């Protein structure tokens, strides 16, 4: 549509005079149509008003010179503080844009000079396209900036947990990533070889589809996943196992607080290092299932835990249980030889070993559990003899 210079000039004059009226009408329409707008705090409502006013002013400027130098609707959203982009979604932003355009279009006949109605409506349609694409650009840039910041913050948090450095700032950093105290799954394994930037991004997306909000750390070829979740953590672990590369995948001990998460992360890391020592290591495997192997690689926390859960309860239970386990292990795990050595019936040995299983959860008649207890008793004897420092 083409309008004469006089008609366009008169329409422009009318638009400039009516910007305040249009902005007021736009805010009334937002309040009537969108519940979220009415629930905004007063300050943010005023920011939206500023954006609406800027949008109308920007349209008038564009209408005056559509072929001139124009930066698009970026100027519209620059009128409000950056906090607005973090508190209002892209969908809500487009609602603001749609409402502003709708109001201007509804009043087109009021502001257009005689003969310029069609030209003004066409200008509104062209401008609405410009402003919609610019709104998307503003939010894409904000998302990109926020994504880069979140990635740096995530790397700092995961690195601190790996090192076991839980300082006063870490809880607030973790909270900024959406983490809150609660049942937390820690998994450590390897990636499928060295990953580029694209592969790393895809891996993170895959893990977060299984565990929304998970913190993911990629240290060389080490992969760390820390996921706060209220669902069954074992099921969650199995849903993420395919995202890990070949080799052992270790689940850290149960954790709720960040201090516990840091301990679980270090235990899982030690488990990955120690897992090759057990040829039948399951995948995934719990860090506590690798306590003897972790002791072998110098993990002091594994030594202390092994003594606490596998040696001390038997020692406190009394001499007969401790003597029976020790004799059974020293006699090559033979019931008959143990019975002869202690001058008791084989059923007595079997009964005492069953009591040990009920007391500790470790079944001495199981090859793997016997190996765990054998390591625990060796450590316990060294400690009791005053030579327990490793």
Task: State pLDDT tens for residues 106-125.
Answer: 877 777 777 777 777 777 77
Burial of 326 (0-12, 13-18, 19+ CB in 10 A): middle
Q: How many Cα atoms within 13 Å fall on the side-chain side of residue 299? A: 28
Check residue 86 and give its pLDDT.
61
Give the span between the Cα atoms of 84 and 362, in whole angstroms: 58
User: Could you tell me which of 244, 235, 178, 162 has the C-alpha nearest to residue 212?
Assistant: 178
CA distances from 286 to 186, 278, 291, 321, 356 (A): 10, 13, 9, 28, 22
pLDDT tens across 97-106, in order?
A: 778 778 877 8
**216: nearest Cα among 143, 177, 158, 145:** 158
Per DSSP, what are the bridge partners of residue 190?
222
Q: Which helix (H) or strand (E) holds 225?
A: strand 222-228
Tell me the CATH class for 176-287. alpha beta
For the chain, how many residues are written? 390
User: Which two tokens mark 142?
Assistant: 């904000």
Return the pLDDT at 390: 46
Is there a contact between 321 and 359 (Cβ–Cβ < 8 Å)? yes
Euclidean distance between CA atoms 21 and 31, whole angstroms: 16
- pLDDT score for 83: 62
Q: Give 264-301 pLDDT, tens digit per residue.
A: 999 999 999 999 999 899 999 999 999 999 999 999 99
Q: Which carries the bigger pLDDT value, residue 371 or residue 8?
A: 371
Determine the average pLDDT of the residues in 129-147: 63
User: How far is residue 228's CA from residue 214's CA, in Å, rounded to a whole number?
Assistant: 7
Residue that has been written with the tokens 């110098």 in this structure: 298
Q: Among 3.40.50.300, 1.10.10.2840, 2.40.50.140, 3.40.50.450, name the CATH number for the domain at 300-384.
A: 1.10.10.2840
Confidence band of 136 (pLDDT split at 50, 70, 90): low
Of the listed ranges 12-16, 146-150, 183-187, 236-240, the least confidently predicted one is 146-150
Q: CA 223 to CA 250: how far, in whole Å?
A: 11
Return the domain boundaries, the chain. Answer: 5-145, 176-287, 300-384
Residue ranges of alpha helices (H) inside the chain are 5-17, 19-33, 35-38, 42-64, 74-77, 83-87, 90-106, 108-111, 117-163, 170-176, 197-210, 233-240, 258-274, 291-296, 300-306, 312-317, 319-330, 335-342, 346-360, 367-384
């Amino acid at each position: 549509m083409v309008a004469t210079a006089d008609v366009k000039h008169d329409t422009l004059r009318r638009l400039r005079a009516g910007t305040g009226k249009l902005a007021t009408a736009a805010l009334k329409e937002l309040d009537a149509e969108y519940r979220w707008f009415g629930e905004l705090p007063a300050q943010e409502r005023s920011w939206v008003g500023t954006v609406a006013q800027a949008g109308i002013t920007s349209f008038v400027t564009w209408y005056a010179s559509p072929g001139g130098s124009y930066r698009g609707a970026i100027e519209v959203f620059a009128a409000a503080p950056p906090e607005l982009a973090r508190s209002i979604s892209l969908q809500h932003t487009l609602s603001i844009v749609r409402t502003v355009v709708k109001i201007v279009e509804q009043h087109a006949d009021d502001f257009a000079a005689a003969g310029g109605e069609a030209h003004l409506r066409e200008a509104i349609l062209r401008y609405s396209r410009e402003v919609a694409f610019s709104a998307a650009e503003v939010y894409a840039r904000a998302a990109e900036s926020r994504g880069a910041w979140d990635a740096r913050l995530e790397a700092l948090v995961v690195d601190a947990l790996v090192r076991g450095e839980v300082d006063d700032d870490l809880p607030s950093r973790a909270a900024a990533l959406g983490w809150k105290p609660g049942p937390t799954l820690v998994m450590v394994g390897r990636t499928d070889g060295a990953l580029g930037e694209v592969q790393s991004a895809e891996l993170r997306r895959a893990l977060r589809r299984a565990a929304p909000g998970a913190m993911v750390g990629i240290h060389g070829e080490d992969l760390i996943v820390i996921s706060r979740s209220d669902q069954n953590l074992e099921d969650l672990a199995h849903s993420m196992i395919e995202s890990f590369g070949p080799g052992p995948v270790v689940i850290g001990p149960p954790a709720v607080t960040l201090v516990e998460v840091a301990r679980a992360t270090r235990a899982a890391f030690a488990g990955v290092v120690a897992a090759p020592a057990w040829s039948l290591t399951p995948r995934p495997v719990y860090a506590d299932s690798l306590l003897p192997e972790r002791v072998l690689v110098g993990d002091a926390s594994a030594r202390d835990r092994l003594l606490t859960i596998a040696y001390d309860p038997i020692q406190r239970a009394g001499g007969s249980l401790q003597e029976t386990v020790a004799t059974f292990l020293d006699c090559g795990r033979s019931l008959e030889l143990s019975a002869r050595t202690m001058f008791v019936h084989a059923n007595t040995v079997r009964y005492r070993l069953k009591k040990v299983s009920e007391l500790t959860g470790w079944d001495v008649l199981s090859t793997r559990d016997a190996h765990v207890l054998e390591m625990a008793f060796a450590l316990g004897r060294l400690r009791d003899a005053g030579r327990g420092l490793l």
